[in-house]
Structure 1
Amino acid sequence: MTSGPARTYGSTATSALLVAGALGSLILQLFVIPLAHLPGWLLIPLVLTSTHLWSILHESIHGSLVRDRTGNDRLGRALALGYGAPFILLKSGHLLHHRFSRTPRERTEVFDEGSWASHAPVYYLRLFGGLYLAEVASVVLALAPKRLWHRLRHLLDTPDTVTALLFDAITGRRLGQFRLDAVLIVLIYAGAFIAYGPHWWMLLLVLAGRAFLVSIADNAYHYGTALDEPLEAMNLELPRLLESFVLAFNLHGIHHKYPGLAWHSLRGAFLADGGRFDMSWWRAVTRQLKGPIAAGLLEIPVVEVLPQPDGKDRDAVERMLQ
């Protein structure tokens, strides 16, 4: 994080409206439409609110939704239940992204060895929905004993992923929270599938749509940017109405520089920083279709590279979540 504007927070009234709207959209998608026998086409605009839902979750992850830290996490957990993945998983994973972005541990599209063809299948799977599906699939670990978590942690501890550190963050003091939220998610979605009855495939399409929208936008702000620069991210141009809809998430370069700013403060910081967009949001999303990129084709600035984590970093990860 660089020095800059002081941390800001969303107003209680605005945040309450945002959370209520997001929860209302989720309840409509999961229960009201099937039980009230409303037209299925109503699901289309509701699914398009997936990016808005993630943006509100993102504010909670950074503690900017409301000033009270406990309130932030409670609201985040409620939203995450409807989103379909435990909040502590989303929070830990995103904060690790801020710490290790564009380093060997977190550079989605970059490969050091092998060919484009060998990396393309996993890359495109993640791009077209795999990221969200992996988050949702984490609920299967709810009943896994702690020793299995530790075993998986050691199996997945490689220098090109943050997975081991993510496991450390969850098993440190939050495994109980993860388990409770995972069980609640399973119960909520089991109830939703029962509510849809023979039209269960409609709910499956809702989840597929959400998976696509969340996954394809995730790395667009970093695709092809310089390596070994955790603060590196792009500011992407969107019409102001859509910028408000995604809570200024498109101003991602500013967010990485000043992650303590609430969404409503990002536009002012962006203008103070020069007000320059890197490209349009649409172009950034579609250019990802080019696929994986060899590390040698990207700029590696002459800067001090962050040290790779070792056992001592468990405490550092824990402090990130405080």
Structure 2
Amino acid sequence: MVRRQSALAITLVAAAIAVLLLQLVALPLLLLPHDLRWGWLLAPLALTTVPLWSLIHEGIHGTLLRHRGWNDRLGRTLAVGYGGPFTLLKAGHLLHHRYSRTQRERTEVYDPQRSSWLAAARAYYPRLLGGLYLAELASVVLVLLPGPGWRMLVRRTDSLDSVTGLLLERVARRDNLRRFRLEALAVIATYTGTTVLYGRHAWMLWSAVGARAVIVSLADNAYHYRTRLERPLEAMNLRLPRPLELFVLAFNLHNVHHRHPGLRWHELRAAFVADRDELHLGWFAAVSRQLRGPIPLTADEVRPLPPADPAPQRPAQMSAAPSTGR
């Protein structure tokens, strides 16, 4: 069974790397010089962003391969092709599991006593429509920042309303920072090199990267939008036809994943059945409804439920016989 799971994981990683090499190397070097219409191939390739992220996500949780070293190496390789340092992606995702729907991470929720809907929307919509991924990609410029600069950045971004300070603090730890710098340099080298290969057609490549940014950013919070606050272990399971569920490596079963983060992607469906869990919305409906925008903290649908009333206590038993008056 273990060998079969490892073989499946290696096959999927090999397929993902092949798709990345097609997009980053073969297309500009071999296909576009023959016929520019090959550029249309980038459109369906952009859709492979979802299973690519799902494989990176497996690497983040250590469930891609049982061997920790190879798990991280493959996750790191895929993340370079994706366009983000694996160390930063891992730290950010694990913080998401810890702080989801708390004050530090409630993407679409704003406090009407501190902000207006319009002010919240100015931050919300750019993040939703590509900004999340572009921030991950742009993080590679931090490779130039020396140690003291990291410490200053952590202090300036530390806030109870954000995980940014916590994220940068984790990345800035010695071993993590060394890995981050190597990964960031690999991303820079990869995308500089492929831009050179595309030459005057580099706009095709960066249009595909833009499509990836929109796909990643739109999908990120769809599993949590308009859900109850202060429930980091909960999310929504989103309905997809079974072939598409396999294509995204069961990432749509997000509530199952939050409750069982150590399960591999192909174990989530069985856990869904065993838990008698439910499908909350269709995937496309959940993604599109985010366009409604920010939600006030006071909205009933996101307000935390009050704690359950404690069970009524029994009257204390009398420990002595009634007084006789003596």
Q: Does the 8 Å CA contact 1:102/1:228 hold for their aligned counterparts?
A: yes
Q: Which residue of 2 aligns with 1:122?
A: 123
SS at match of 2:97: helix
Q: Shift of residue 143 of structure 1?
A: 1.7
**Counterpart-to-counterpart distance in 2, 1:182 and 1:196:** 21
Q: Which residue of 2 aligns with 1:87?
A: 86
Q: Which residue of 2 aligns with 1:215?
A: 217
**Counterpart-to-counterpart distance in 1, 2:208 and 2:269:** 32
**Counterpart-to-counterpart distance in 1, 2:110 and 2:3:** 38
Cα deviations by residue, 1:58-98 (Å, 9 ceiling, x for unpaired): 11101111111111111110001101110000000000000
Cα deviations by residue, 1:140-190 (Å, 9 ceiling, x for unpaired): 000210100100100000111111111121111310110011111111111
Alpha-carbon spacing, 1:127–1:10, altered in 2? closer, same or farther (3 Å): farther
Q: Which runs of 5+ in 1 are unaligned?
A: 1-7, 305-322
Q: Does the 8 Å CA contact 1:57/1:79 hold for their aligned counterparts?
A: yes
- Are 1:101 and 2:103 an aligned pair? no
**Counterpart-to-counterpart distance in 1, 2:199 and 2:249:** 35
Q: Shift of residue 29 of structure 1?
A: 0.8
SS at match of 1:85: coil
- Are 1:197 and 2:196 an aligned pair? no
Q: Percent identity?
A: 54
**Which one has a bigger Cα radius of gyration?**
2
1:224 to 208, 212, 226: 226
Q: Which AA in structure 2 matches 1:215?
A: S
Q: Which AA in structure 1 matches 2:87?
A: I
Cα deviations by residue, 1:33-60 (Å, 9 ceiling, x for unpaired): 0111341111111111001100110111
- Are 1:302 and 2:300 an aligned pair? no
**Counterpart-to-counterpart distance in 1, 2:277 and 2:258:** 15
Q: Which AA in structure 1 matches 2:48?
A: T
Cα deviations by residue, 1:201-258 (Å, 9 ceiling, x for unpaired): 0011010011011110000000000001101200110000000011100000010000
**Counterpart-to-counterpart distance in 1, 2:80 and 2:264:** 23
Query: What TM-score do the two structures reach when normalised by structure 2?
Result: 0.89
Q: Which residue of 2 aligns with 1:236?
A: 238
- Are 1:164 and 2:168 an aligned pair? no
Q: Shift of residue 303 of structure 1?
A: 4.5
1:251-290 → structure 2 map (5 Å cutoff): 251-290=253-292
Bigger mean CA offset, 34-43 vs 123-132: 34-43
**Counterpart-to-counterpart distance in 1, 2:93 and 2:144:** 24
SS at match of 1:36: helix
**Counterpart-to-counterpart distance in 1, 2:285 and 2:179:** 39
SS at match of 1:124: helix
Q: Which AA in structure 2 matches 1:105?
A: R
Q: Which residue of 1 aligns with 2:19?
A: 25
Higher relative contact order, chain-length normalized (CA < 8 Å, sep 6+): 1
Q: Which residue of 1 aligns with 2:42?
A: 43
Query: What TM-score do the two structures reach when normalised by structure 1?
Result: 0.90
Aligned-pair RMSD on alpha carbons? 1.4
Q: Which runs of 5+ in 2 are unaligned?
A: 33-37, 309-326
Q: Which AA in structure 2 matches 1:125?
A: P
**Counterpart-to-counterpart distance in 1, 2:3 and 2:73:** 16
Q: Which AA in structure 2 matches 1:66?
A: L
Q: Which residue of 2 aligns with 1:61?
A: 60
